[in-house]
Amino acid sequence: MSIIASNFKTNHTRKSTASFVNEINEFLKSNDILSEVYVFPTSTALDSFDTVPNLTLGVQNAYATQKGSFTGEIGTEQLDEFAIKTILIGHSERRHVLGESQSEIAKKFAFYKELGYKIIYCIGEPLEVKQSGLEKTLEYVYEQFEGIDTNYENLILAYEPVWAIGTGVTATNDDITSVHSAIKARIAKPLLYGGSVKVGNVAEICALDGVDGALIGTASWNVEDFKQIIENTKDL
């Protein structure tokens, strides 16, 4: 059963998110699709959506707090309002654009783990590391597990090479399977691939050994494309 997740990043409004979620919900229901589907809208578009059990709304980021003085952040008080119990942690844009350190990420992970959240934990190497070979890539990726409880029961991993995110350059099947098999040998958790996954390549990628689904940005923002992505992977 594929796990298919859409990361909206800084896209969609409250209104367009609601129509997207409702459309995906109807699509899953009317086609009896049982794939595990996640949507991560912007924080401003979180809401209490009435969805089938296999469609889950999550948050792209939150601070390791219930509430308090953390300007620009949200905590569990805001998530509880909409019964959000799923969070993305360690996304490359938070690491490399927003400057979140591994120790901050580990602290966030521990906080949300303690509360039983489903965590989609992202790892992945930048281009210069990839260019220095598989061994260096794995070393880099393993460092991103520092301070992370990889035995946590509610954990899904997402391998997203930074150079493939939002660039249109997807990792090759060989790149994906070599990293996935190495991670899988150490950590027995569902492992998604992310990085320029599209309608046209999602089925092939999700069918690879060691790939349990996909975390998708750009290609998932159009609701018809996201439906097609779900359709293309529903039997995998």
Q: What are phi and psi of 57, to 5 degrees?
A: -95, 135
Min dist CB 135 to ligand PGA, Å, is 25
| Residue among 12, 91, 100, 180 flagged as catalytic | 91
The yes or no reply on residue 216 touching ligand PGA (CB under 6 A) is yes
Q: Which two tokens mark 156?
A: 């899904």
As measured in angstroms, the least distance from the Cβ of 217 to ligand PGA is 3
**Which three-class secondary structure state does DSSP give residue 166?**
coil
Task: Using CB under 6 A, pick the residue from 56, 195, 211, 232 that binds ligand PGA.
Answer: 195
Radius of gyration of the chain (CA): 17
Whether 180 is catalytic: no
Segment 1-30, which members bind ligand PGA (CB under 6 A)? 7
Residue 144 lies near ligand PGA (rule: CB under 6 A): no
Instruction: Pick the catalytic residue from 12, 93, 160, 180.
Output: 160
Distance of CA 161 to the CA centre of its chain: 13
CB closer to ligand PGA, 65 vs 221: 221
**Touching ligand PGA, residues 217-236 (CB under 6 A):** 217-219
Is residue 58 involved in binding ligand PGA (CB under 6 A)?
A: no
| 176 is a contact residue toward ligand PGA (CB under 6 A) | no
Supply φ then ψ for residue 7, to 5 degrees. -105, 110
Residue 221 CA to residue 236 CA, distance in Å, equals 22
26 is catalytic: no
Strands (DSSP E) along 85-233, which ranges? 86-89, 118-123, 155-159, 191-194, 213-216
